[in-house]
Amino acid sequence: MKNYYRCLTLLLFIYVLPASLTASAIDSVNITGVLTPGTVGFNGGFFNCKVIGNNASEDETMFSKNFEAAIKNNQFKITVPANSDLFYATFSLTDTAGKTKILSVGNESEAYLLQKGDSINIRINGSFMVFSGSGAEKLSCQFNLYSLMNLPNGANDRYCDLISNGDYSQAYSSKLRMIKIQLAMKRAVLNSYQNSLPASVINRFYADHLGMLYHDTFYSLYTGDKKDLYKIKYLNDLNISLGSADTSLAALSSIYYSQCLLWKELTFLRFQGNTNNFNRFSFKQLYDNICNKYQGGLRDKILLQAFVDMKGMHMPGMNKTDDVFNYVDDALSIMGNNESKRMLQEWREKVAIGKNAYEFNLEGENGQRYSLDDFKGKIIVADFWFNGCMGCTQMPGALKTVYEKYKDDNRVAWLSICVDKDAKWWQYGMKSGLYTMAGEINLFTDGMGSTHPMLAHYGYSTFPQLLVIDGVGHTADAYPPDPRIDKGEKLIILIDKLLR
């Protein structure tokens, strides 16, 4: 009888152990890879996988998690926990000096859809990637689609010629035809995967690329240097071509489609009114337009991205006196019980004025550690920068005027925080004098670069960034007035208010 129980126990152990291992594998994605001779300079560095939070855009770092694997002998291996059955991630390489190369066909990072249980091998040759293994068909399809993002040189050259010659009507109508041709080519590629990918995935990919193409076009119109009748007509034609909002599950799940609709609304607000002058508008107008034109989960997703993106951006044409936080409570009251609502609540808890500031502990240039507690009773003005950032070189000069007003006031502390990954670059940046100014305490994000939890806490993904913390350790403003715009006048008003 004892032998029977021993055998039964052994059989149960043999049966259960593989099951637990399998469950672990199913809840994650395994990625292995090799760098070919065409990918030079990254051996000894890192392969990075940034998992993007559901309903977030790829720039919203607060809702993303970064995972990295060391590259040894030009090979790497990483297991990435899945945050849902299907989720998006971006890939990049970091060399030994801390410089990052985004793995993309174009100039921007490109998100890839992964699924729990995928086991993928990536062969990397420069920016070219070849995928194999379980789940690789999805990534191969996406890579092929991203390869069609850039127009052939001849098409771009012709568009530029028409603009140079002043034939704007023909230029914009040809541009719209090119967008439609790109979409048709992408649809043809997707159709070739009908026997190997689920229809739900194919539809999501189409929504992604529809969103990317139109987002880029709306963005270029919004940030353009002038407004005229030709652009107004082009904008209206784009809107007709895009059609009414797609409320399908594929569009709702897409990482890019809701961003496209957000920038459509922004662009129409900027183009309202006088033919020759851009319109100034408030966040309330944007908020009302989204609430009136969209419904359900799609509305909630656009609202989330509007709050997070518009608070962090210095948008030309938007009246910054209309604080986005004035509308968060109303948005939460109308949003469904979904992921967008949860994420908006999380965002408010982290960056709203009066909330507890991130309790940082960072390395100083003298080897000493500095924490939030070291600055009790002081107002902190922190400037985040990295080497090679043009805007970052402009911030010290703009801050100088503000610093001079308070340099003898020991109730104000000035921090300069480098987000480079390599301490050598931090030292180089300080010695160059381009990124720092006298009177600042120089700090470093401990080699974690832009993946440091402090940056994720505030959702910082572009630089420079300023942060103001009050004397009791609360966030005074995670996105304070930019002194490059008004010579520091509004930042001085904020600091004076905190000192009272």
Tokens, residue 203: 């539809």
How far is residue 419's CA from residue 416's CA, in Å, rounded to a whole number?
Answer: 10
Beta bridge partners of 228: none
Task: With beta carbons less than 8 A apart as the criterion, state whether 429 and 387 touch.
Answer: yes
Per the domain annotation, does 216 fall within a domain? yes
Per the domain annotation, does 44 fall within a domain? yes
Beta bridge partners of 132: 121
Q: Is the same domain home to 216 and 270? A: yes
Q: Is the same domain home to 179 and 270? A: yes
Render pLDDT for 126-167 as a digit per residue (tens, 0 to 9): 889 999 999 999 999 999 999 998 777 788 889 889 988 989
Q: Is the same domain home to 204 and 228? A: yes
Cβ neighbours for 110, distance < 8 A, ≥ 6 positions apart = 90, 103, 104, 142, 146
Per the domain annotation, does 5 fall within a domain? no
Task: With beta carbons less than 8 A apart as the criterion, state whether 121 and 136 touch.
Answer: yes
* pLDDT, mean of residues 18-27: 50
**Domains held by the chain: number:** 3
- SS3 category, 132: strand
CA angle 349, 355, 356 (to 5 degrees): 110
Domain range holding 373? Answer: 361-499
Q: Is the same domain home to 339 and 404? A: no
Task: With beta carbons less than 8 A apart as the criterion, state whether 114 and 89 touch.
Answer: yes
Tokens, residue 150: 């850039």
Per the domain annotation, does 151 fall within a domain? no
Render pLDDT for 51-92 as a digit per residue (tens, 0 to 9): 998 888 777 778 889 999 999 999 999 999 998 999 999 999
Tokens, residue 85: 């059955």
Residue type, 356: N
Per the domain annotation, does 12 fall within a domain? no
Q: Is the same domain home to 317 and 460? A: no
Q: Is the same domain home to 462 and 425? A: yes
Render pLDDT for 227-282 as a digit per residue (tens, 0 to 9): 888 899 999 999 999 999 999 999 999 999 999 999 999 999 999 987 778 988 99
According to the model, what pLDDT value does residue 178 have?
A: 92
Tokens, residue 91: 């890939």
Max Cα–Cα distance, the chain, nearest Å:
95
Q: Is the same domain home to 169 and 124? A: no
Per the domain annotation, does 464 fall within a domain? yes
Which pTM does this prediction carry?
0.86
In 333-461 the beta strands, taken as DSSP E runs, fall at 361-364, 369-371, 379-385, 412-418, 441-444
How far is residue 397's CA from residue 268's CA, in Å, rounded to a whole number?
Answer: 35
Q: Is the same domain home to 246 and 395? A: no
Q: Is the same domain home to 174 and 106? A: no
Per the domain annotation, does 9 fall within a domain? no
**Cα 411 from chain centre:** 35
